[in-house]
Chains A and B, each alone.
Chain A
């Protein structure tokens, strides 16, 4: 029996796979001559994936395949489009870094696109096995990417740490999934939800905790975050940007999917776990970030803290319509976080082209040597801190909204922790801003206006536009969030 295949519904994945294969073959056949072609194929091809996503969204019809394991609806399309755009911006960040740094290999683009393919599949997965396969498709290429600078021991260390801990987390998650399967007799999320409504066995709670623990590694939530700063610092910076945004978002989407479609009925098991992860990430991430002197490590801890903020709406998602408020909170926060964090990394990459340094002090006097970049970087940092009128405020707003929609004591305590530590967070973001504007450049005589490459400028423009537009008119994202979580 051949399974029912809806080719329109699968079109995004098919297009992306075709692009990956083309890029691979072109690189193999043309070798050196392909250097200028492969990145273009990857970029254009990735954007091409948006076409079927757009037609599917316009169609608005929910498509279910493989016995319910693969579903194309607003929810999956919203995330698929998100991953494609994030992947594209990551590509833009990589072009010149890979070309200039003597690290060029066509496989870089193939690996990056494969990872994005995993994410796009993940968005539609409604089955534990599909989710697992998709997640592995996301992670495996990332291990290689993290170690891209072969001759740099730090990069090697980054890859090894990431690999070992990644494999460990996968094992934990898989173990949890196997127990879930054993107790519910199905890998389909819908079936698990039915079982979860019936089962209140302690073992089921343990299984849920194990699965969530696996995801906690992926989203680097405290106490599963130890790999993050070292991996982020050692990996090539564009890869770090990709890991801290795309991979992390994939973890969140997986988490959101299993919680929303499978574990929701037994909220007594998963909510306390997420509450703890969120609170710990916010506290530890922000406090550790205060002490960093390297900008990438600072952004690594900041991304742990931001991950905590993203978990908050999910940890307090109640039932019924208030669940929607929680999901929307996660969704909007993810979108905003992606834009501002990618933008911040773009600025770090741009600055490192001149200073060849990742120290926070290397930003001293940027306001004078390159005012435009300085303004843009300051905007991203303030946005990360949640200062209006930049997009970050709305992300924080929807987070607090979910907290107060729930209104229970536990939720409010988490809200107060989040509020207090948003202020703490401002301190380290402002630390960089102070270097940029309040300090004198180390060498005034040095080349002052090294021209930014086109790709990097494009990445900065895209992310800046999102941060500014969403900051003053958040309804754009809010509308997508509303559509993605309608029905229920």
Chain B
């Protein structure tokens, strides 16, 4: 299987690109052919992913496997270096699963102005960027893939989006671009300051910031923080997210929530923490503060929404707060929780956005005051929405629980080297325990807004205007797109070790520098 070991990741990154090229070459009249090619490309990518899953050495999840390390831009010592470990593996599989589901979901109803050719080409380009980011082990390569994601999403929101799409798309782009400009400057500074000038993430993680003074690390970490935190998004950099989600077409929202946001949290785990550990120790409590503010603020905003999609968008802010809290604890336990939270949020919020999109397709509105009685009009969809809401609020036995609960718990016992808000390691314990309590309150609020949403949308009787409207229940393409997400939520909820056993070794490796 050595051939596969050498080529698997390159194939996984570039098969969607080939698919995109073919899609572009087919005349736009041949819609069926375009859809088939796009679906095939994403399925072949998934097949490569399954191959990786099968061939992955689960005894050594902390080692980077399937590595490719080739010369790329020798002038600046940037290399084409790819690899997966226990942290990136769940993320690439999540991406590879979500993309074909999105293609299947859009099969029969492409959003206005239609144009499946361009739409599918953009989805495939998105997949290139997303998988590429998760497998890059070179800062320059990472930066390129991180940015590649922006263009397709910009167009997806701007062309296929809702009434306010222009504003939302440019806001999305400018926020992210601003963050990544500072991130790039920090990458270059790391290159010049580290023990040996290199962009290689593996080497830089081994140096663990030696050679870079503490003060400089704090500054550089701030630069990386902006780049990643805007993507996550953390409070107060989250304002692009509700707009982007509200305006984006359903599939755009799903990909945005399920995968794109994770690029930011993944960046923290893969780059910021291991390369600048001293910076991380100092910033940890502040990340924690922003995380818990995000949890509470996101939840409170949810309670104030009238638009269903906007509510789910704010719930993302809240949920990503839990993920960031886990990361801020700088412990193995916290990182495990964060990666689990990323996968769970991807499955559950993806499903929520799918259902919200399908409801909009049927009702032509997302105003919760006009919706109601979904359980009567379309009972199956109503139950699925209920399932997703329960999973999202962290019901034990479903995947959401294992992202949220351990993240809260990780704040009970933060890393010994993490600073507290008073700027020393002694204050860490009270600081993080306070976070824990606040985050726990957040879980209650989550139950509040999700149940409230469910009650308004699904229970009761349909409103007068929709009383006699004949609404299709879940269609075949919707079933195919949603079942894997439902199954994943249940399976990972019942057997969380399926993921924890993969991530644990890698998480230990990341936190070794913080004393475990």
**Interface check B170, CB cutoff 8 A:** yes
Contact of A415 among B75, B185, B191, B192 (CB under 8 A): B185
Binds A, one of B174-182, B350-358, B427-435, B447-455: B174-182
**Interface check B155, CB cutoff 8 A:** yes
Q: Are B74 and A388 in contact (CB under 8 A)?
A: no
Q: Are A393 and B188 in contact (CB under 8 A)?
A: no
**Interface check B376, CB cutoff 8 A:** no
Complex CA–CA separation, A382 to B151 (angstroms): 9
**Interface check A437, CB cutoff 8 A:** yes
Specify which chain A residues have a CB less than 8 angstroms from the CB of B75 in the assembled complex: 328, 474-475, 478-479, 481-482
Complex CA–CA separation, A415 to B186 (angstroms): 11
Q: Are A430 and B76 in contact (CB under 8 A)?
A: no
CB distance from B121 to the nearest CB of A (A): 10
Contact of B158 among A407, A434, A479 (CB under 8 A): A434
Complex CA–CA separation, A434 to B173 (angstroms): 12
**Interface check A427, CB cutoff 8 A:** yes
Q: Are A423 and B166 in contact (CB under 8 A)?
A: no
Complex CA–CA separation, A378 to B304 (angstroms): 39
**Interface check A438, CB cutoff 8 A:** yes
Q: Answer whether A405 and B147 are a contact pair too, CB < 8 Å, given A437-B159, A438-B158.
A: no
Q: Are B147 and A387 in contact (CB under 8 A)?
A: yes
Specify which chain A residues have a CB less than 8 angstroms from the CB of B148 in the assembled complex: 388-389
Q: Answer whether A423 and B177 are a contact pair too, CB < 8 Å, given A387-B147, A400-B185, A475-B72.
A: yes
CB distance from A193 to the nearest CB of B (A): 26
**Interface check B150, CB cutoff 8 A:** yes
**Interface check A203, CB cutoff 8 A:** no
Q: Which of B135-167 contact A (CB under 8 A)?
A: 140, 143-144, 147-148, 150-151, 154-155, 158-159, 165-166
Specify which chain B residues have a CB less than 8 angstroms from the CB of A388 in the assembled complex: 143-144, 147-148
Specify which chain A residues have a CB less than 8 angstroms from the CB of B76 in the assembled complex: 397-398, 401, 478
Contact of A404 among B72, B170, B177, B189 (CB under 8 A): B189
Specify which chain B residues have a CB less than 8 angstroms from the CB of A129 in the assembled complex: none
Looking at chain A's contact residues, the main secondary structure is helix
Specify which chain B residues have a CB less than 8 angstroms from the CB of A419 in the assembled complex: 181-182, 184-185
**Interface check B29, CB cutoff 8 A:** no
**Interface check B73, CB cutoff 8 A:** yes
18 A-B contacts (beta carbon < 8 Å): A367-B159, A388-B143, A388-B148, A394-B73, A397-B188, A400-B184, A400-B185, A403-B188, A404-B189, A404-B192, A419-B181, A419-B184, A423-B178, A423-B181, A437-B155, A473-B73, A475-B72, A475-B75
Which residues of B are in contact with A by a Cβ distance under 8 Å? 71-76, 140, 143-144, 147-148, 150-151, 154-155, 158-159, 165-166, 169-170, 173-174, 177-178, 181-182, 184-185, 188-189, 191-192
Q: Answer whether A475 and B170 are a contact pair too, CB < 8 Å, given A387-B147, A400-B184, A438-B165.
A: no
Complex CA–CA separation, A415 to B189 (angstroms): 11
CB distance from B69 to the nearest CB of A (A): 16
Q: Answer whether A405 and B192 are a contact pair too, CB < 8 Å, given A388-B147, A437-B158.
A: yes
**Interface check A18, CB cutoff 8 A:** no
Specify which chain A residues have a CB less than 8 angstroms from the CB of B174 in the assembled complex: 423, 426-427
Q: Are A420 and B151 in contact (CB under 8 A)?
A: no
Q: Answer whether A438 and B159 are a contact pair too, CB < 8 Å, given A389-B148, A426-B177, A478-B76.
A: yes
CB distance from A323 to the nearest CB of B (A): 15
What is the number of contacts between chain A and chain B, taking CB atoms within 8 Å? Answer: 86
Contact of A401 among B143, B182, B188 (CB under 8 A): B188
Specify which chain A residues have a CB less than 8 angstroms from the CB of B147 in the assembled complex: 387-389, 393
**Interface check A422, CB cutoff 8 A:** yes
Complex CA–CA separation, A415 to B182 (angstroms): 10
CB distance from A415 to the nearest CB of B (A): 6
Q: Are A427 and B73 in contact (CB under 8 A)?
A: no
Complex CA–CA separation, A306 to B150 (angstroms): 22
Complex CA–CA separation, A423 to B176 (angstroms): 10
Q: Are A393 and B144 in contact (CB under 8 A)?
A: yes
Q: Are A430 and B170 in contact (CB under 8 A)?
A: yes
Q: Are A389 and B73 in contact (CB under 8 A)?
A: no
CB distance from A387 to the nearest CB of B (A): 6
CB distance from B115 to the nearest CB of A (A): 9
Contact bitstring A49-75, B, C-beta under 8 A = 1, else 0: 000000000000000000000000000
Specify which chain B residues have a CB less than 8 angstroms from the CB of A393 in the assembled complex: 144, 147
Contact bitstring A311-344, B, C-beta under 8 A = 1, else 0: 0000000000000000010000000000000000
Specify which chain B residues have a CB less than 8 angstroms from the CB of A416 in the assembled complex: 185
CB distance from A395 to the nearest CB of B (A): 13
CB distance from A134 to the nearest CB of B (A): 29
Complex CA–CA separation, A479 to B73 (angstroms): 9
Q: Which of A423-439 contact B (CB under 8 A)?
A: 423, 426-427, 430, 434, 437-438
Q: Are B73 and A474 in contact (CB under 8 A)?
A: yes
Which residue of chain A has its CB nearest to the CB of B71? Answer: A475
Which residue of chain A has its CB nearest to the CB of B179? Answer: A423
Complex CA–CA separation, A400 to B181 (angstroms): 10
New A-B pairs, 5, CB < 8 Å, besides A401-B188, A437-B159: A397-B140, A403-B188, A423-B177, A434-B158, A434-B170
Specify which chain B residues have a CB less than 8 angstroms from the CB of A403 in the assembled complex: 188
Complex CA–CA separation, A179 to B72 (angstroms): 47
Specify which chain A residues have a CB less than 8 angstroms from the CB of B189 in the assembled complex: 404
Q: Are B181 and A387 in contact (CB under 8 A)?
A: no
Q: Which of B75, B140, B155, B191 has the most CB of A within 10 A?
A: B75
Q: Which of A445-482 contact B (CB under 8 A)?
A: 473-475, 478-479, 481-482
Q: Are A387 and B184 in contact (CB under 8 A)?
A: no
Specify which chain A residues have a CB less than 8 angstroms from the CB of B72 in the assembled complex: 473, 475
